[in-house]
Amino acid sequence: MSKWYLIHSKPKQEYRAFEHLENQGFDVYLPQLQAFKLKKGKQEKEIEPLFPRYLFIQLNETSSAWHKIHSTRGVSGLVRFAEFPAEVPEGLINQLKNQANPDGIIDKTGEFQTIFNAGDLVTITEGSFIGLEAIVKEQDGDQRVQILISMLGQQQNIKLPLSAVSPL
């Protein structure tokens, strides 16, 4: 009977390990996530491994192919607890696969992208004004937001990166 196990890859070599294990005929699963990341102050969609440095492999307990895994490019080794390889419940694998689109990617772009409208109340989460509440004047493109802060009896207009504010 085959079970799912956890593979630890070398740093940033999940895709390489996946490709080489698959080429050897192994049933391998590398869940991927598409999300917005801030790069140089700009939101960009990016696809990356859901669990960096980890992927799943289905193996038969009586298979003689276990030794091939350790010499596969990109693979650091099987994750073990004591002397036993870490088993992963099949239900977890099925749950991850059910969340993915036909390309095997879990799309979370709608959940992570924050779009502010004029008049929205926000809290500043970074920088000198951390913890202060403000009102959104406008979202300035896909990377910055203009806010109004009441300071010294006047409203001050400040521009901040989207990552520096969160909705109230």
Amino acid 38: pLDDT:
65
From 75, 92, 112, the end of a domain falls on 112
The total number of structural domains that make up the chain = 2
Q: How confident is the model at residue 141 (pLDDT cuts 50, 70, 90)?
A: low
d(CA 126, CA 88): 38
Q: List residues bridging with 161 in a β-sheet.
A: 144
Q: Is 129 found in the same domain as 64? A: no
Q: What is the pTM of this model?
A: 0.64
Q: How many CA atoms lie within 13 A of 96 on its CB side?
A: 17
- DSSP letter at 14 equals H
Query: In whole angstroms, what is the distance from residue 123 CA to residue 94 CA?
Result: 38
pLDDT digits (tens, 9 = 90+) for 81-138: 888 888 999 999 999 999 988 888 988 766 545 578 888 999 998 888 899 999 999 8
Q: Which of 66, 89, 112 is the last residue of a domain?
A: 112
Q: How far apart are CA 68 and CA 121, in angstroms?
A: 56
pLDDT of residue 117: 83
SS3 125: coil
Return the CATH number at 44: 3.30.70.940
List the 165-167 sheet strands across, edge first: 154-161, 144-151, 133-140, 121-124, 165-167
How confident is the model at residue 41, as a pLDDT? 58
Q: Which range of residues forms the domain containing residue 126? A: 121-167
